[in-house]
Amino acid sequence: MQTEGSDLMVAAPVAGALRGLWYDRHFSPWTFEFVRSPTTLEAAAKRCVDLVVSLLALLLTVPILLVAAALIWLTSPGGVLFVQRRVGLHGEEFFIYKLRTMVADADRQETELVSTAESTFLKVQNDPRVTPVGQVLRKLSIDELPQLVNVLRGEMSLVGPRPLVPTEVLKMPRAARQRRFAVKPGITGLWQVSGRSACSDEDRIRLDHEYVERWTPLLDLQILVWTIPAVLAMRGAS
C-alpha cells in the first residue's frame, strides 16, 4: 500500500495491480522498501516540466541531430540510431534511443567484455568499439539527445537514475534495485553531475539512492542546471 506523500511503500505480488505499488518483475514478487512518494501535484508538475522542456530541447537540437546523424552515416557502416532494451519504472522494460557511437557489431563484441568486466555497470574505459565520431558525440553527450523522445513517451524523465540494461540489473545488490526502480529513469541525475562515468560503482549506486530519497522539484531543477557545466566541461565523459 502507498499513500500520497507517505514514506512507506509496500509491494504486492501482482505488477501494476494498484497504482504506485512496487513490484520486482525480475526477482522475488514480494518487496518492502521505504521511499518518499511524491504527491499527485508534485508528480503532475514533474511530468509537465518533462514534456515542455524535452519538446523545446528536441526542437532546438534538430540541426545538431541532423549533423551528427550525417557524420555517423558517412564514417561508419550501419544505422544511425542505437536502440536497446532497458529497465525502467517498477522494473518494466522499454527501448531506449541513442545515436550510435559504436561499430555496427558492438553487441556481438559485448559478450566478451561482459565476461571479463568486474564492474556492475558495463562502462569500459577506452572501449575499442567506440568510433572516432562516437567519441566526440559521447564527450558532448549529443548521443543522448534522442532520449528526449523517451521522455515525451513517458518512459523516462529528464532527471532520475540512469536506465540499466537487464544484465546490469542482475549484478546489482537487491536493495539497490528496489530503490532505483521506484522512480522513472532519467537522462541526467546526481551521479552524472558528480563525475559521470568516472564515478565508482558504489558512488553511482549511492547517488541514485540519494536522489530517490531526497527527491523534490527543487532538486530536479538544481540537477538540470548543474548538467550544463558538467557537459560543457566534459567531466568524466567516455
**Is 181:15 a contact under the CB 8 Å cutoff?**
no
Strand 186-188 vs strand 32-33: parallel, antiparallel, or unpaired?
unpaired
E strand or H helix that includes residue 191: none
**Is 220:49 a contact under the CB 8 Å cutoff?**
yes
Backbone dihedral region of 189: left (phi > 0), alpha (psi from -120 to 50 degrees) or beta?
Answer: beta
Cell of 145: 539527445
pLDDT at 44: 92
Which parts of the chain sit beneath pLDDT 50? 1-33
Contacts of 237 (CB under 8 A, 6+ apart): 138, 139, 140, 141, 196, 197, 231
pLDDT at 188: 93
pLDDT at 60: 96
Q: Nearest CA to 84 among 173, 155, 13? A: 155
Reduce the DSSP state of residue 204 to 3 states and report it: helix
- Kindly report the number of other CB atoms within 10 A of residue 108's CB atom: 10
**Is 77:104 a contact under the CB 8 Å cutoff?**
yes
pLDDT at 174: 76
Contacts of 183 (CB under 8 A, 6+ apart): 89, 157, 160, 161, 211, 212, 215
Global pTM reads 0.78
Q: Nearest CA to 164 among 189, 137, 146? A: 189
**Is 195:207 a contact under the CB 8 Å cutoff?**
no
